[in-house]
Structure 1
Amino acid sequence: MHKTFEDFKFNKQILNAIAEAGYTTPTPIQQKAITPILAGQDVMGIAQTGTGKTAAYVLPIVMNLKYAQGNDPRALVLSPTRELAMQIEEQVRLFAKYTDLRTTVLYGGLGPKTQIAALDAGTDIIVSTPGRFLDLYLAGHINLKQLKVMVMDEADKMMDMGFISKIHRVLEIVPRKRQNLLFSATMSELVHKIAGDFLAFPTIVEVAPQATPAATVSQRLFKVPNIKTKINLLQHLLKDDSELHRLIVFCKTKVSADNVYHFLLRKYGEEGVRVIHANKGQNTRINSINAFRDGDVRILVATDVAARGLDISDVSHVINFDIPIVIEDYVHRIGRTGRAYKTGVAISFCSPAEEYYVNKVEKLIRQTIPIMEIPEGVVIEKTGIEEKQAIAKEIDAQKRKENPDFKGAFHEKKAANLKKNNTKKASARKPTLKKAGTKAKRYR
């Protein structure tokens, strides 16, 4: 086992950059993946976020490329989101600090002019989202003849986001002879399929059982009857400033995120809270993440678009205001805390309609999440009629998913009302038919 980074025979430039970045001991994924990647093997890494997997492939790539050469890229890293692409590029710059290697990051959401200029100036490593990469390649700005290594990071998220056809298109245009690296937190069928198309006799590197949360994260679950009570509980927990000093609140929709954000905004103002989701402009998202990373903002409210690759150390708590419907996202969300050997806490609020997803999460992570009592002083609100109906409808839909023959309480009630209404309508229609009949006779 490699106890230090010196054991990997990295050159002086890389070792200096590693030391300056404050890394001392390789993480399990780095210990297992760096050697085969340095040797030029195809590698499939199963590791959740927060395990140091970016450095596990960036360090050997920087070592193997050594110095700037020609105009065209020799390494390509594909990432599902622009946030993650920017963070990977940051890591490349960090570790390539004492080399002359050039990195270019490409993503959508803003005009390509600056990115094209960077490509024209020459680059060694491209970090990109699949869509923008294909756009610029098809427009003739990228030559792939020199490509030696290709990385697919967060492959499961790329599949969830529907990138499979774009990935296949990329595989058609890259040189056949190259090294391939694929990293994923979970092994879904689609990831299996793309791995088969992408990797040749790979070395499989797995740290921790599939989709297991980092051991440094302590998990808690509160069963909460409705949204208003969730807000009251959130407000109560946030009173503990010293413990919850930097936290991310995850919501499943943009509407939910905005609602939580506006509530917290009234309490803490712009200085205390920011929100990021898909409807926010690129610059707003970057500024919010940077303000949160620098410690200027205590609370970040986010949807799952921000759950992947958000590498911010010292996040003390993650609060799942809503349980995610894509259950794998639970692992990614709580992986925002307890990073790099530090401890963290993940707290989840679960309404009756979300218990179904909690059961699925527990099966996935092979753990039971401890249930906590709602603290004294938290007002438990009555559930309104609309929310009650929405919960009943959702529970019926879940039961139907498990058993297609299930009709459901909501369905039966609806059917009874429908029958009642039809009887009323039929009896109301009879006399008009008679009248219509007599009228018709009179005109004959």
Structure 2
Amino acid sequence: MEEKENGPTITFDDFKLNRQLLNAVADAGYTVPTPVQQQTIPLITAGHDVMGIAQTGTGKTAAYVLPLLMKVKYAQGTHPRAVILSPTRELAMQIEESIRLLAKYTDLRFLAIYGGVGPKTQIEEIKKGIDILVATPGRLMEIYMKGDLILKELKTLVLDEADKMMDMGFMPQIRSILEVIPRKRQNLLFSATMHARIEKLSEEFLEFPVKVEVTPAATPVETVSQMLYQIPNLQTKLNMLHYLFRNEEIFTRVIIFTRSKKNAEVVAEFVNDSARGTVRVIHGNKGQNMRINAMEAFRSGEVRFLIATDVASRGIDITAVSHVINFDVPMIYEDYVHRIGRTGRAEQEGASITFATEAEIHHVREIEKIIKMQIPEASLPPEVEVAKTKFAESQEMALEVDKQKRRTDPDFKGAFHDKKQHLHEGVIDKRTGRPFEEKKPTKIRGFRRNKS
């Protein structure tokens, strides 16, 4: 244990990991354990059920993977002894990559299974024998129901990104999994947020858990600077991107998050035409191989811009991301933390920039309540051309603002309701030269009936 001015510094040697794991940790360049690793690794090694509240980018994957590798230790039998559940394919692949990195000097067998590709190859790998299985809930149950996966040897179950799993509607599958695995097991649950549903899940899933909360729930990492721009419409947002990306020395590797696949494609086309650097897009309609290739190209530095919907906000672990840009404000507020956590990783500095229209500002204020801080705001640079808002976009934003006001004020009838009575106020009637007065509608008389 090293000494510092303010006391001893914990090192990975203090966790009593075996030499194979310590060598892998050293090769990975890890020196001092992060706070979540310092608190979690001894508890998991001692066999406790653990509930970890830790934001993305804090090292929580290694916090459970290292003690898990220590417990499983070496290849044995055919069926998995540990299962890690992940909400998305991207995160499952990232967890598998972390296991590969830390288990490099062991003979442990591990595999990630997920949808988007046929199960045949995954089933063939499972039948060869597996020690640690990483899986999305749907694919795990699919292969289990086929009879190609035996879970009776399971000793440890990990739920990673539990809050995201609940947001994505995976609770029925998780409950089905809990029904078919051994009751006597160690359970680990990790979440970036601690809302009531997570509390309820922990009561259902964990037995006498030790709670580890290294940061307040949904707090952005300190190494990420944040900035907000109020921007009136989509075209002006695009103009702002063009302005920012002229600075190639600062905006070196950028992830741009959009709310929809449609906006992702619009942004990709614009950036491809207006900025120097390769552009890749990942969203739900992209094939699995295309998404994997895009991530690898971005990780290697071949690609300057990665444009993604929230399907990828938790599955990207790349240390050199210079900026995250929220082209659209996320509707699930906790996703803001996950998005900006893609930069400022591994104690490096990063920056996030958020664009918000009038309709999106309401969501920004709600996000600020969750992260317990105000996002600094800046004015649009004068060089950025402010485009005129298209009629359809204007109407859509006005309707959204109406919905927001109705939620907070039950008596609010909506701007569209008031529009009619204010439509002619102050308008001069050109025909008479006087202020316009709304007239009562003229009655249309019908034909008289003959009284014959």
Deviations 1:125-154 (CA, angstroms, capped at 9, x unpaired): 000000000000111111111100000000
TM-score (ref. length: structure 2): 0.92
Partners of 1:2 and 1:31 within 8 A in 2: no
Deviations 1:38-74 (CA, angstroms, capped at 9, x unpaired): 1110000001110000000000000111101100000
> Distance in 1 between the 2:258 and 2:96 partners?
27
Identity %: 56
Is 1:44 aligned to 2:51, yes or no? yes
Change beyond 3 A, Cα 1:238–1:306: same
Displacement of 1:380 in angstroms is: 1.4
1:345 partner SS:
strand
Partners of 1:2 and 1:8 within 8 A in 2: no
Residue 204 of structure 2 aligns with which residue?
197
Partners of 1:29 and 1:53 within 8 A in 2: yes
Q: 1:387 is matched with which residue: 390, 393, 401?
A: 393
2:347 partner SS:
coil
> Distance in 1 between the 2:300 and 2:179 partners?
41
Q: 1:106 is matched with which residue: 110, 113, 126?
A: 113
Is 1:299 aligned to 2:305, yes or no? yes
**Mapping of 1:87-236 within 5 angstroms?**
87-236=94-243
1:318 partner SS:
strand
Is 1:30 aligned to 2:37, yes or no? yes
Displacement of 1:351 in angstroms is: 0.9
Return 5+ residue gaps in structure 1 as ranges.
418-422
Count, aligned residues: 431
Partners of 1:49 and 1:309 within 8 A in 2: no
Q: 2:258 is matched with which residue: 239, 251, 256?
A: 251
**Mapping of 1:359-438 within 5 angstroms?**
359-413=365-419, 427=443, 430-431=444-445, 434-435=446-447, 438=449
Displacement of 1:404 in angstroms is: 2.7
1:150 partner SS:
strand
> Distance in 2 between the 1:133 and 1:383 partners?
47
Return 5+ residue gaps in structure 2 as ranges.
1-7, 424-439
Q: 2:344 is matched with which residue: 338, 341, 345?
A: 338
- CA-based RMSD of the aligned residues comes to 1.9
> Distance in 2 between the 1:274 and 1:411 partners?
44
Residue 281 of structure 2 aligns with which residue?
275
Residue 8 of structure 1 aligns with which residue?
15
Identify, as 1 or 2, the structure richer in helix: 1
> Distance in 1 between the 2:368 and 2:334 partners?
11
Residue 357 of structure 2 aligns with which residue?
351
Residue 4 of structure 2 aligns with which residue?
none
Q: 2:249 is matched with which residue: 236, 242, 245?
A: 242
> Distance in 2 between the 1:95 and 1:228 partners?
46
> Distance in 2 between the 1:254 and 1:309 partners?
17
